[in-house]
Structure 1
Amino acid sequence: MFDIGFFELLVIGVVGLLVIGPERLPETLRTLGLWWGRLKRGIQNTRTEFEQQIGADDIRRQLHNEDIMQRLNSSKDAIARAVGENVDDIQGSMKDVENSLKDVSDSLSDLDNASDTTPSKTGEADHKIGSDIPADDTPAADTPNNTTESSISAEPQEGAQRKPSDSGRH
């Protein structure tokens, strides 16, 4: 408020000592301190009352809330942009994968069609990979991959002999 340094205070003290005298100076300083305090309290009360009348606290709160809302909206927009960019990248990658899968599927179907129509060099028709049916369409009873229900069955077939150890368990 006032820019009073140490030298100015010293000058005021010396002048006060000479004018008022050493006997009345402490009482005068106490009175001035009380008046100063009352003046400060009065200014503070006036300021508080004025701020209440114009609603300065509400205005400050509203400005603070608006600032926070602006920050939140800018953060929300930044996040939405980032997510949108990522979604676009992901969709582009998905389209690339779909196209690749379609190309592979087309290649496989072309290859399958070509193998179905082309006879083999030995004169037999080609068969699909992993098929257990021989090319001449006869049942393969002696092939190791062809297992019948009777060979897997746990029940002994008619005419099969029982071992002596089997009869003791029943």
Structure 2
Amino acid sequence: MFDIGFWELLVIGVLALLILGPERLPGAMRSTIKTIRSVRNTASGFKQEMEHQLRVHELHENLKKAEQQGLTDLSPELKESVDELKDAAKSVQQPYKKD
């Protein structure tokens, strides 16, 4: 991600030690690591959500194509998307069926 070598890290460490002092340096490092982790988790969640939305959009477009063809003589890709949507619809309806 960043092109930081050993010497750059050493300079940053020495400067942090001089500026913050040995008492506050461990706490500052912990808070920095915590912030970096939260940013990574947020970015990861955003990426997963975008991938999910793109997949939903793709399935929706494939369903439109299939409906335009009258759900007959579908290409294997469209047939797979329609089957996947049907399975998803069944799994959503399953918990709400009355006995």
* TM-score using structure 2 length: 0.55
Q: Summarize deviations over 1:99-148 as a string: whole Å, max 9, x none.
A: xxxxxxxxxxxxxxxxxxxxxxxxxxxxxxxxxxxxxxxxxxxxxxxxxx
Match of 2:36 in 1: 36
> Which stretches in structure 2 are left out of the alignment for 5+ residues?
60-75, 78-99
Higher relative contact order (CA closer than 8 Å, sequence separation 6+): 2
Question: In structure 1, how many angstroms separate the alpha carbons of the residues matched to 2:54 and 2:2?
Answer: 28
Question: In structure 2, how many angstroms separate the alpha carbons of the residues matched to 1:36 and 1:44?
Answer: 12
Match of 2:63 in 1: none
Match of 1:2 in 2: 2
Question: In structure 2, how many angstroms separate the alpha carbons of the residues matched to 1:52 and 1:3?
Answer: 31
How far apart are residue 55 of structure 1 and its match? Answer: 1.2
> SS of 1:4's equivalent?
coil
Structure with the bigger percentage of helix? 2
How far apart are residue 8 of structure 1 and its match? Answer: 0.8
Aligned length: 60
Q: Which structure has the greater CA radius of gyration?
A: 1
Question: In structure 1, how many angstroms separate the alpha carbons of the residues matched to 2:11 and 2:50?
Answer: 37
> SS of 2:22's equivalent?
coil
> Which stretches in structure 1 are left out of the alignment for 5+ residues?
60-64, 67-170
Question: What amino acid maps onto 1:16 in structure 2?
Answer: A
Question: In structure 2, how many angstroms separate the alpha carbons of the residues matched to 1:40 and 1:25?
Answer: 22
RMSD: 2.2
Give identity over the alignment, percent: 43
* TM-score using structure 1 length: 0.33
How far apart are residue 16 of structure 1 and its match? Answer: 0.5
Question: In structure 2, how many angstroms separate the alpha carbons of the residues matched to 1:48 and 1:20?
Answer: 38
How do 1:16-165 and structure 2 match up within 5 A?
16-55=16-55
Question: In structure 1, how many angstroms separate the alpha carbons of the residues matched to 2:46 and 2:12?
Answer: 30
How far apart are residue 13 of structure 1 and its match? Answer: 0.4
Question: What amino acid maps onto 1:36 in structure 2?
Answer: I
List structure 1 runs of 4+ shifted beyond 6 angstroms.
none
Question: In structure 1, how many angstroms separate the alpha carbons of the residues matched to 2:3 and 2:40?
Answer: 17
